[in-house]
Structure 1
Amino acid sequence: MRRHHLYVARTRMGKSTLMRHLVEHKLQEKAAGRDRDAVVVIDPHADLVADILEQVPEQLVSEVRLIDLADERGAVGINLLDASVFTDRDRTADAVVRVARGLWEQWGPRMQSILEQTVKTLHEANSHPATKPEEQYTILDGLKLLTAESFRFEVLTRLRDPYLLQWWANDFGKWRREYRSDALAPVQTRLNYYASSTHARAILGQSRSTVDLRRTILEGGVLLVSTAQGSVGRDVAALVGASLLNLVDSVIREQERLPQHERRGALVVVDEMQTIPGVEFESMLSELGKFGASFVLATQSLAKLDQISPSMRHTLLANVGCLAVFQVAGDDARELIWELNRERVSEEDIVSQPVHHCYV
């Protein structure tokens, strides 16, 4: 499987079932020693991951890593600013900002600048030799950084980037009290949302990430992620899901310097991709294939893709090697028959398909 897949279907028409069969086949091939690729599954509803877990071959059990955001008792730690995992400061900041822009209704250049400098500052402080892994700052510390002067001074002593130091001194530091309150309010509101959520604190508030995602991918392991949107909320699920996908992107790109025969392939499966804004699916599809990555993406409708990016549907259709069309709405059927065989498949054929049937 070296080509990207796109599955389009109304709810409960069978796209997740097709994904499950594909992943189960991949796992059987790995268990038999015929496949060495990593497998990553991102599931917003938990059912897909639960079904896959029941079918994991015994030989692969030790290679499976499960991240279930709904499990508060054994909550996995995902520090988005963990410098040992998310090693590139600027890529990390860009990823967090992109996710926030996709989730937060209120957005503007001032808000983006504040969030960007906050994330870069905390990440750089985590990279300082004096910062122990268990003492790293998290995205939730952004609140204190913006409001507590003594805490801000402590963090700034660990910065080496003159631009960041200048921004805090000459931009942030010289804002009038009224202007500062007005500028910080929208950022504080969103960070407060994460800080006040028990699920978010349990996951995002741990100083060090408890799963070595980079090692799992590079060693050809299996990573199953249930973002549990119904339990933890849309924002937390999207933030974690997007961050993990951006990490997968980064790890795969790191292999560029390796000879082709040494690169580790990866199958990346994302159900309901429209629920995870802030991910550069377009660049992933067009660029990561040469590093051995293949994506299997699913959505309920093409219109949902437009919410992510105006060019998303066109980029996806241009880069996928396999298109599976289940029962869809009329608007989607009218467009997708051009991707199938218009002379043999009609709009009515598509919109009237029974459950678990599709044109490929």
Structure 2
Amino acid sequence: MSEDRVTIFAQTNYRNTKVKFGIKTDDRRRHMYFIGKTGMGKSTVLENMIIQDIQDGKGVCVVDPHGDLVEKVVNFIPSHRINDVVYFNPSDLAYPIGFNVLENVDPEQRHLVTSGLIGVFQKIWADSWGPRLEYVLHHAISALLEYPGSTLLGIMRILTDKGFRKRVVDKLTDPVVKAFWVEEYSKYPDRFQAEAIAPIQNKVGRFLSSALIRNILGQVKSSFSMREIMDNEKILLLNLSKGRVGEDNSALMGAM
């Protein structure tokens, strides 16, 4: 993409002279923020810019919490770019796309994935978040990242299933994480253990118990690679319509 290329998104009508104008590529890389009242054209501006990028063969990612924008953009994808499209629609129960955030994470990146997921959950449930919930959840995610074939569904299993927990702990190489499960969690009195995991069951467990979410995050193998999409300038369209998947589910999937 040329630094001087201008993405057109509007047209002036000053003194009866119509002039198209837009924004340069270099300026776009400094980020943009569109604000305005309902019906003022924010989505239209984004739609025009997205369509131009797609038609120019550029990589695009659209995260749409309403669904309208993505559905409009789909109609403007050229036939020669159809194979570049990944259409992520959680409400499609017949053909769920797999997205496993714990899949094949490089050991050097595991702490980033853990803190990132903790941050996602904390942001959504900020009003009822607590230090003990975060502490236990942190060690659950850290342990699952070391266990082959793990998904987020393993969070509830490692907390409640002793057999599964033992299999995971036997694979751990991080001494701090292993010590938590062997020397601390396993020695919690039953009542204290129940109190410690109750907030996680209430929040994370409820999220993962949804069939819609479980069909996506519960697949061991992801259907697409974010790295491949970015490196090969493909088109990722995420239809996270709140009306179809629920507000919390939409927010969590978008944040991930």
Give 2:252's aligned amino acid: L
Q: For this pair of structures, how many residues does the alignment match?
A: 228
- Report matched runs for 1:1-360 at 5 Å: 1-2=25-26, 3=28, 4-30=31-57, 37-83=58-104, 88-104=109-125, 105-126=127-148, 136-243=149-256
Shift of the alpha carbon at 1:87? 7.7
The C-alpha deviation readout for 1:35-59, integer Å capped at 9, x for no partner, is xx42111101111111001001222
The AA in structure 2 aligned to 1:117 is H
CA distance in 2, matches of 1:85, 1:45: 33
Aligned residues of 2:105 and 2:145 also touching (Cα < 8 A): no
The CA RMSD over aligned residues, in Å, is 1.7
* Counterpart in the other structure of 2:19: none
CA distance in 2: counterparts of 1:87 and 1:56, whole angstroms: 38
Distance 2:120 2:75 in 1: 32
Structure 1 portions without partners, runs of 5+: 31-36, 127-135, 244-360
- SS in structure 1 of the partner of residue 32 of structure 2: strand
Distance 1:158 1:40, change over 3 A: same
Paired with 2:37 and 2:211, the residues of 1 have a C-alpha distance of 33
- Moved >6 Å (runs of 4+): none
Structure 2 CA distance for partners of 1:86 and 1:67, relative to 1, 3 Å: farther
CA-to-partner distance for each residue in 1:275-313, whole Å, 9 max, x for gaps?
A: xxxxxxxxxxxxxxxxxxxxxxxxxxxxxxxxxxxxxxx
Deviation of 1:74 (Å)? 0.8
Q: Deviations over 1:81-130 (max 9, x none)?
A: 1125998211111111001111113111111111111111111113xxxx
Alpha-carbon contact 2:47-2:73 (below 8 Å) kept? yes
Change (3 A) 1:85 1:38: farther
User: Is the contact made by 1:85 and 1:212 (CA closer than 8 Å) also made in structure 2?
Assistant: no
In structure 2, how many angstroms separate the alpha carbons of the residues matched to 1:154 and 1:162? 16
Q: Report percent identity of matched pairs.
A: 30
Q: TM-score, normalised by structure 1?
A: 0.60
Paired residue secondary structure (1:157): helix
Structure-2-length-normalised TM-score:
0.84
Q: Which amino acid aligns with 1:212?
A: S
1:213 to partner: Cα distance? 1.9
Per-residue deviation, residues 5-26 of structure 1 (Å, max 9, x unmatched): 1001233432111100011111
Going from structure 1 to structure 2, the CA distance change for 1:210 and 1:85 (only over 3 Å counts) comes to: farther
